[in-house]
Amino acid sequence: MAAVNTALRVLRWAASDTRGPMPEGPLADAAGLATPGPEVRAEIGRLAAITAARLALAPPPMGDTDPPGLETAIMAAAIGGHRQEAAIALLRAVPPAPCTGWDLTARHGLVAPVLPRLVDDLPHVADALRDASPLTGVLDRPGPRSEAVCEDLLDRLREEPSARALLILRFARPAEDPRQSLWRGESLAWLRHVDPEFVLDVYETALILFRSEHEIRARTAWAQVLNDGSDKRAEPTAVWWRALAELEAAEPGLVRRRPRLAGRSIGTNLYRHLQGVT
């Protein structure tokens, strides 16, 4: 029961104040995670509900009433034993799909507070966690094996009003790292063909709430290009602006109807410059 007890401690930690030390424990008797008992099931459900509330997702998430599966317990045990070789094997046994709405929130509730603690020291574990948690992949960036799953989930989330609002706010925020910026920029570039209003909502929110941060990043990227010739370093910032630059060219009327997008040129011109478009 060692692995089950490790999972239980991690589940309780994730549902409470995650500013404290992350629980660690043994992974012996991992077979018990297949039938962990009612206490673990209850903690998975509690974490799913708390995470949905934290994200302001209307219950049940995405209208899906099916309960979360026991794979969340496997993930919790792997997080508690993340320094052990068996952790990766456990995480790779968790399929990223199909997931119920409650699965998605429970898994994200586990993974989101853990990633910042692992991304530098144990990046392979962080990537395995991203692969096992598609909602984290959408809101942060996908793992190496789950990009297609995250693309499908992004489409699904856009159809539910509270999830759509969450996506708009997250995609509008300044990215935490270049790969996150690339994921968001490439996703917006694809979505501008099928849901341009969503894309414009993202950029409008970005310029209302985070204008100064985005302007600073765009100026920094311009300096990298003009002073250092560092197109590659500027690319993630430029790609985040790609969809808006393309909408300006393809559907200028849509953009003109959004006066709060004024001031966008510092970013859209950056993208066009890197593409060799004047």
23-37, 39-53, 106-120, 160-174: least confidently modelled range: 23-37
pLDDT of residue 278: 43
pLDDT at 243 over 80: yes
pLDDT at 104 over 70: yes
pLDDT at 266 over 70: yes
pLDDT of residue 35: 86
More confident residue, 86 or 142: 142
CB neighbours (10 Å) of residue 128? Answer: 27
- pTM given for the model: 0.94
pLDDT bin (cut points 50, 70, 90) of residue 231 is confident
- Whether the CB-CB separation of 250 and 273 falls below 8 Å is answered with no
Give the residue-averaged pLDDT of 143-163. Answer: 95
pLDDT at 273 over 90: yes
Nearest to 240 by CA among 277, 187, 169, 167: 187
What is the pLDDT of the chain when averaged over all its residues? 93
pLDDT tens profile 49-98:
999 999 999 999 988 888 898 899 999 999 999 999 889 999 988 888 77
More confident residue, 227 or 16: 16
Nearest to 255 by CA among 263, 278, 239, 185: 263
Say if residue 227 is exposed, middle or buried (CB neighbours under 10 Å; 0-12, 13-18, 19+). exposed
Q: What's the Cα-to-Cα distance from 265 to each of 42, 189, 245, rounded to whole Å?
A: 51, 17, 9
pLDDT at 277 over 70: no
